[in-house]
Chains A and B, each alone.
Chain A
């Protein structure tokens, strides 16, 4: 999260576009900016299962990050209309999945679907004149595990909630490496550009550490709502 925020302010705000593709060293839950952490997450079970929980600076819902490819894209130039900007960036995902032979489509406001099932969720924020979009491409989904960590309104509807999600959400059944490569290709196709590999500079890393200390490692941030 800190790296994404650093990229937003240091690169996006300077007019650059950066695509970051990453995974998680261990499963984690992120919650949307407006969500109540105790409403959404079973914190005791997360602690027991060593699943970290952190609040994003982007809106949207709680995400259990496990078997997926995560990306962030920051941009200094983008469509001002929010729906148009989601469409433009999600096209990257759609075209990337197409490179793997998957017939995906953008599903407003912020999803990408295959055969009507969500395979990719996205969330945006705009700060300092720049845009950050987070997105997750599901490789596989363990709905039971997800619902053991996220709260559902009552235990009574847990089975129905699990069935509903199984009906509406799917993994794409590809590897991390295949998907990451395809996503890079999708970015080239969608934006008509070549990609240059980059590493974080010493200054970037220092800024990431500062952001992490000031925000994401603070319980007051994740528990603020």
Chain B
């Protein structure tokens, strides 16, 4: 097992419209960067296939609030989301990654 590799599943309730967002995160504990991420839940996103772009866009991101928020906002430009926004999603990812640095 790679000690630098850590898979975490965290369930985070978002306050927005009582939707649930779950984060499955594979990240480097050493560099605190995301290797891969899966975002699931009962939220809505239009268009729906933006979710793949969001997950891809977060690969390599640093587990730091501003960096995450920026990546999320950039990936979701032109997308309508109900159930989370860049701020709450960044918070949920940080929770999954063991909290803010």
Selected contact of B38 from candidates A60, A61, A225, CB within 8 Å: A225
User: Interface 1/0s, chain B 46-61, versus A by CB < 8 A?
Assistant: 1110010000000000
- The yes or no answer to B45 lying at the interface (CB within 8 A) is yes
- The yes or no answer to A57 lying at the interface (CB within 8 A) is yes
Chain A CB within 10 A, most for which of B41, B43, B45, B47: B41
Enumerate A11-39 residues with CB–CB distance to B below 8 Å.
32-36, 39
> Across the interface, do B47 and A82 meet the contact criterion of CB distance under 8 Å?
no
> Across the interface, do B22 and A123 meet the contact criterion of CB distance under 8 Å?
no
Selected contact of A109 from candidates B24, B38, B82, CB within 8 Å: B82
Query: What's the Cα separation between A193 and B62 when bound, in Å?
Result: 54
- The yes or no answer to B73 lying at the interface (CB within 8 A) is no
Query: What's the Cα separation between A124 and B43 when bound, in Å?
Result: 11
Query: What's the Cα separation between A61 and B21 when bound, in Å?
Result: 11
Query: What's the Cα separation between A70 and B82 when bound, in Å?
Result: 23
Enumerate chain B residues within 8 angstroms of A39, measured Cβ to Cβ. Answer: 22, 40
- The yes or no answer to A209 lying at the interface (CB within 8 A) is no
Q: How far is the CB of B48 from chain A (nearest CB, A)?
A: 5
Interface majority SS on A: helix, strand, loop or mixed? Answer: loop
How many residue pairs at the A-B interface have CB separations less than 8 Å? Answer: 52
> Across the interface, do B22 and A36 meet the contact criterion of CB distance under 8 Å?
yes
Selected contact of A62 from candidates B42, B46, B80, B82, CB within 8 Å: B42
Query: What's the Cα separation between A60 and B17 when bound, in Å?
Result: 11
> Across the interface, do B38 and A82 meet the contact criterion of CB distance under 8 Å?
no
- The yes or no answer to B39 lying at the interface (CB within 8 A) is yes
> Across the interface, do B46 and A34 meet the contact criterion of CB distance under 8 Å?
no
Q: How far is the CB of B32 from chain A (nearest CB, A)?
A: 25
Query: What's the Cα separation between A82 and B80 when bound, in Å?
Result: 9
Enumerate chain B residues within 8 angstroms of A124, measured Cβ to Cβ. Answer: 44, 46
Selected contact of A34 from candidates B24, B40, B80, CB within 8 Å: B40
Contact flag A123-B44 (CB < 8 Å), given A36-B22, A82-B82, A109-B82 = yes
